[in-house]
A and B are shown apart, each in its own frame.
Chain A
Amino acid sequence: MSTGTGTQAPSGDGPLSVRGKLLVLLAAVVVLATVAGVAVWRAAGRAEARNHVQAGGPAVHAGKVSLAASGPPRIVFRSMAWGPHRDELASVPAAAPDGPRTASGVTCLRFYAAGGTGICLQAERGPVNDSYRALVLDSRLRTTRRVDLAGIPTRARVSPSGHLAAWTVFIGGDSYAGTNFSTRTSILDTRTGVLQSTLEDYALTRDGKRLRAADLNYWGVTFADDTHFYATAATGGHTYLIRGDVTARTAVTLRSNVECPSLSPDGTRIAFKKRVPGLDPDAPWRLYVLDLSTLRDHPTAETRNVDDQAVWLDDATLAYSLPGDYGSDLYTAPAGGAGAPRLLASSALSPSRLD
């Protein structure tokens, strides 16, 4: 630091000598390094604690989990309960969702299964940071295909037949303190391996006019069959429910303010999260159900903020996640709007109903 041009004091001014300044810096670095070290050490301890079974948590044991389309009614989800099986796909009987869990040994961040096919969005440890991939699983949880992902997984769905899988990832934040995030939604044919890597390639029309925009984002696909699906498209600060065609690669907007749609098994209604005007911007979404024949919606009995793509357990019951003590908990609410929300399973995420 003393290689100045001679036009100024080599190292600032003030009463301290260079030596004194270096000592002050050294002392401060020691203190700050200690604070930093303690913070990392405590966080590491917390991370380690999650590998030990939590008191009062659900019982989890290793076993076989099947995604077969026929079989006993069951719910398969990502179990977030602390212990050796944390974040593994686990199965519970549909009749006893809060009972003992059978853990599969396959870890997923997000998951969905239908028609004997599962889609598992997974983190892969790299030398420095995690990368992400999508795994297509057969009914015995064997990986049949894998696709690298561009960002952090958020939504996953499989078509009722199990032939198509879709997922959404978040991409974002490469500028200084930047807050611009985008999504990418892909659809994969699980039989042929043909990947439509982004729905942004689809021809989207709104009110009969082709819509192109650099800020166009898609998320939350829900399949009607192996050709048609619904999803959310967003541009210019508005969200739209779209109906898409996988073969024609086209989509058309149906109405606005619909996010993370989920089609009922009978194909007549869509559960979605609605940005309700006047709510706290911290918690802007409520769980609503839309009737596709009238395009009219009604709220469910859940009054808390729901930031999830709901799942239909049957034609009358919705399941969704809310933040919980161990990550998230699953709740159910009647789709009709009456009744009250009920806890389905604690420490759980990404449920699929199979039977």
Chain B
Amino acid sequence: MYVSESRGSTPAAASRTAARGPRPGRRSAVASTVLALGAVSLITDVSSEMVTAVLPLYLVTGLGLSPLGFGLLDGVYNGFSALVRLVGGHLADRGGRHKQVAAFGYGLSALCKPLLLAVHTLPLIGAVLAADRTGKGLRTAPRDALISLSSPPQTRGRAFGVHRAMDTTGALLGPLAAFLILRRAADGYDAVFTVSFCVAAVGVLVLLLFVPSRVREAAAPAPAGAAGAERPSLRAAVALLGRRELRGLALCAVALGLATVSDSFVYLMLQRRLGVPDRWFALLPLGTAGAFLLLAVPLGRWADRVGRWRVFVGGHFALLLAYVLLLTTVHSGVLSYAVLALHGTFYAATDGVLMAAAAGSVPAALRSSGLALVQTGQAAARFCCSLAFGAAWTAFGDRSALSGAAVALLASVALSVRLRPAEAV
């Protein structure tokens, strides 16, 4: 067990071990808590993606609404959601209530599903969806903290990989379940929402039953300063940014986030530049999700071996390559598959890996706040990128906007390679 191996070693030695990761041929199972959280995410994603998949159809054909301009508040809400994430992270650290905060977040999202049955107008549906996303914002950081706390540092990359793969599996199964219900019952949107609620309730129950409410850090070589000394106060959470490692990491995540064009823009560019036929448009996210699903575990393991930082930054090369392919003038069907594969690779190499990397630079007592800080920085940066990208598109056209994003991404990668936080190897 890694526990006994690392116990007694100096923090520095432990982090070197963490960097090198397990020797080839050495395998250990993923912690049961990670599997339980993976199951919760899988089940919850089935539930939420069921709703996401039928929502446009429900609004347009079920309710006869014109949902245009509906998304205008999305921008405002993105800002709010970033705050919610920080709050969730902070609350979870206070008294080690990761499970309770996560359960509240999952529960809130679950309760929103039956509410969809009761509201029939755009403003109210928007409010329910906002509450649903608040639940998601609250639970994300505590959940990732639980994953990191219950996995030995040497295999955190894999633990996050397993979790993200399970999560993505749920996201792929959800739409399937929803459309099968609509096959059985034409226009049965109420049935979809009811089933979605039942599924979400199972997810909450799995969380309550199978995720421990107190997780001692597995094999934690208490990072310098010892976990006990860190009191989970707001000040301590903010002071996390004073730590060189985390600051460097957050800075890079923000810099790279500023050059990460949002998914919907990628799909729009894919269609406009590579001429993806209209009928495939709705299926493009499945391509990204498929690659993400397949590569999350292998890349997580690889990150454990060669260094999470390296894989995280490297993942952005996949994104850069996707941009370049989108900028070429070659029109070929193969190219769009390549772009989607690269897009999924980017997620597999960055999403869970960043959390695995960040976990190493945050003491256990502040884990949730620390992860929330990094996530929020990244999300806020991506949001700014979307605004800038939209503005650049308006001013100079789509091609110039993407060229700009590619140059920015290259610069951010260069910066990240230079900064290279100490934890990273």
B-side contacts of A325, CB under 8 Å: none
A96 at interface (Cβ–Cβ under 8 A)? no
A173 and B180 contact, CB distance less than 8 A: no
B66 and A131 contact, CB distance less than 8 A: no
> A13, A150, A197, A219: which contacts B213 (Cβ < 8 A)?
A13
B230 at interface (Cβ–Cβ under 8 A)? no
CB within 8 Å of B: which of A147-171? 148-152, 154, 170-171
CB within 8 Å of B: which of A16-41? 16, 21, 24-25, 28-29, 32-33, 35-36, 39-40
A208 at interface (Cβ–Cβ under 8 A)? no
How many angstroms between the C-alpha atoms of A154 and B397 in the bound complex? 28
How many angstroms between the C-alpha atoms of A49 and B75 in the bound complex? 42
B-side contacts of A294, CB under 8 Å: none
Interface bracket on B: 35 or more
Chain A residue with minimal CB distance to B131?
A: A177
B33 and A25 contact, CB distance less than 8 A: no
B36 and A43 contact, CB distance less than 8 A: no
Q: How far is the CB of A321 from chain B (nearest CB, A)?
A: 8
A179 and B70 contact, CB distance less than 8 A: yes
Say whether chain B's binding surface is mostly helix, strand, loop, or mixed.
helix
B-side contacts of A181, CB under 8 Å: 56, 59, 67-68, 70-71
B-side contacts of A152, CB under 8 Å: 56-57, 60-61
Q: How far is the CB of B241 from chain A (nearest CB, A)?
A: 27
Chain B residue with minimal CB distance to A232?
A: B68
How many angstroms between the C-alpha atoms of A217 and B70 in the bound complex? 13
* Interface-lining segment among B47-55, B90-98, B314-322, B416-424: B47-55
How many angstroms between the C-alpha atoms of A29 and B195 in the bound complex? 12
B72 and A237 contact, CB distance less than 8 A: yes
* Interface-lining segment among B199-207, B245-253, B346-354: B199-207
How many angstroms between the C-alpha atoms of A16 and B212 in the bound complex? 12
A47 and B187 contact, CB distance less than 8 A: yes
How many angstroms between the C-alpha atoms of A184 and B278 in the bound complex? 10
A13 and B74 contact, CB distance less than 8 A: no
B-side contacts of A184, CB under 8 Å: 278
A248 at interface (Cβ–Cβ under 8 A)? no
Chain B residue with minimal CB distance to A155?
A: B66
Q: How far is the CB of B60 from chain A (nearest CB, A)?
A: 5
A43 and B188 contact, CB distance less than 8 A: yes
B133 and A177 contact, CB distance less than 8 A: yes
A178 at interface (Cβ–Cβ under 8 A)? yes
A-side contacts of B179, CB under 8 Å: 128-129
B-side contacts of A182, CB under 8 Å: 68
A281 at interface (Cβ–Cβ under 8 A)? yes
B-side contacts of A46, CB under 8 Å: 185, 187-188
B195 and A36 contact, CB distance less than 8 A: yes
How many angstroms between the C-alpha atoms of A217 and B150 in the bound complex? 48
A291-325: CB near B (< 8 Å → 1, else 0) gives 00000000000000001000000000000000100
A-side contacts of B198, CB under 8 Å: 32-33, 35-36
Known: A177-B136, A214-B389. A5 touches B278 (CB 8 A): no
> B35, B51, B152, B277: which contacts A177 (Cβ < 8 A)?
B51
Known: A7-B3, A179-B129, A212-B397. A172 touches B216 (CB 8 A): no
Q: How far is the CB of B335 from chain A (nearest CB, A)?
A: 19
B28 at interface (Cβ–Cβ under 8 A)? yes
A334-353: CB near B (< 8 Å → 1, else 0) gives 00000000000000000000
**Chain B interface residues toward A at CB < 8 A:** 1-3, 28-33, 35-36, 48, 51-53, 55-57, 59-61, 64-74, 121-124, 126, 129-130, 132-133, 136, 150-152, 175-176, 179-188, 190-191, 194-195, 198-199, 201-202, 205-206, 209-216, 218-219, 263-265, 267-268, 277-279, 281-282, 285, 389-390, 393-398, 401
The 10 closest A-B CB pairs, nearest first, are A43-B188, A180-B71, A150-B278, A43-B185, A39-B194, A43-B191, A214-B393, A148-B279, A282-B121, A32-B198
A-B pairs with beta carbons under 8 Å apart, 20 shown: A4-B31, A5-B2, A5-B219, A6-B1, A7-B31, A8-B216, A13-B212, A13-B213, A25-B205, A25-B209, A35-B198, A47-B185, A150-B278, A151-B282, A154-B66, A171-B281, A177-B48, A177-B129, A179-B70, A184-B278
